[in-house]
Amino acid sequence: MTLATCTAEGKPSARIVLLKELNKEGLVFFTNYQGHKAKDILSNPYAAAILFWADLERQVRVEGQVKKATAERSDSYFKSRPQLSKLGTWASPQSSVIPNRKYLEQLMTMFNEKFKDKETERPANWGGYIIKPTLVEFWQGRESRLHDRIQYRLGNSDGWIIERLAP
């Protein structure tokens, strides 16, 4: 999914992340807690996400508040990842400027050696986030450009308010 966050000053940034889970709490993704998106979320805990299927001319847009997933949930997902992905989590100083590719490869070699004969635990600077939706829009493209847009907006105490939007 495309994830958009903003700095405390309102400067937006968007990137693709893996939507790992969708449940009653919201949309769950995992990342480094020291990267750009984590810094944005720390200072401005709101995000927007887009899931897009070009061939179907469909899109789902979500807005909501973001919170960290529990350490237990982050640990559980981390344990399920392939070993190279676990090591990559340790090796990547995400979003930091690095001198070259060889630097990353050296870090990967170092962590491969460190965890050679033991379980690779989750680093403290990596884990999950949950976007708790306050707005969900379903978009269906139409040849006429009169697209269908249905918005679900969380009301104060009335639950979800369903509205049709003009294309």
Catalytically active residues are 145
Geometric angle at alpha carbon 77, from 76 and 80, rounded to 5°: 95
Q: What is the DSSP letter of 142?
A: -
Task: Give the whole-angstrom CA distance, residue 107 versus residue 134.
Answer: 40
- Tokens linked to 161: 């308010």
d(CA 122, CA 137): 35
